[in-house]
Amino acid sequence: MKNFINKINDFFLNFEALASLFFRFGIAIAFLIHGLNKFPLPPQGLIEYFDLSPTLASFVAISEVSAGVLLIVGGFIKNPYGNFITRSAGFIIFIIMVNIFAIAHSDWFINTKLFTSEQIFLFIGGLYFLIKGNRS
């Protein structure tokens, strides 16, 4: 049985780097889609629903797209600059998600709605890349 478990562990060890890549692309694509859905600028939905200025609403959309692009690009640069780019994307995602929770979903704090939404996973993903950078 121990030999069988070791073989399974060794098999998945070959794919360990892919796990981080899948997570990176999942979070990045989600942010790209959310950001691109707010174009053309300024995004009228954000302006009307949250009473944001056109400048701030445009900044949100550009930040979401930028975070997605930076997260993907940072993963392909294997030096301290790539690590910094990845952490910058994580920071942008973290800040965006904190504001989303505070402004759009303030009634979600520590209840089932929070933990059954995609937003908590985007927040965790941003925090993950902020802390971990490119280290896999």
CA dist 79 to 8, 36, 66, 136, Å? 32, 29, 20, 13
User: Does the structure show a pLDDT above 90 at 133?
Assistant: yes
- d(C-alpha 41, C-alpha 69), whole Å: 18
Give a yes or no: residue 54 inside a domain: yes
Give a yes or no: residue 9 inside a domain: no
Written as one letter, the residue type at 66 is S
Predicted confidence (pLDDT) per residue in 65-111, tens digit: 999 999 999 999 999 999 999 999 999 999 999 998 888 777 766 77
pTM above 0.75, yes or no: yes
Domain count, the chain: 1
Give a yes or no: residue 83 inside a domain: yes
Give a yes or no: residue 47 inside a domain: yes
Give a yes or no: residue 5 inside a domain: no
User: Does the structure show a pLDDT above 80 at 116?
Assistant: no
Upstream peptide bond of 40 is cis (omega within 30 degrees of 0): yes
Q: Which domain holds residue 100?
A: 17-132
Give a yes or no: residue 128 inside a domain: yes
Alpha helices, DSSP H, located in 1-136: 2-13, 16-36, 44-50, 54-76, 80-99, 112-115, 118-132
Predicted confidence (pLDDT) per residue in 1-48, tens digit: 888 998 898 888 888 878 889 999 999 999 999 999 999 999 999 999
Give a yes or no: residue 25 inside a domain: yes
- d(C-alpha 104, C-alpha 128), whole Å: 22
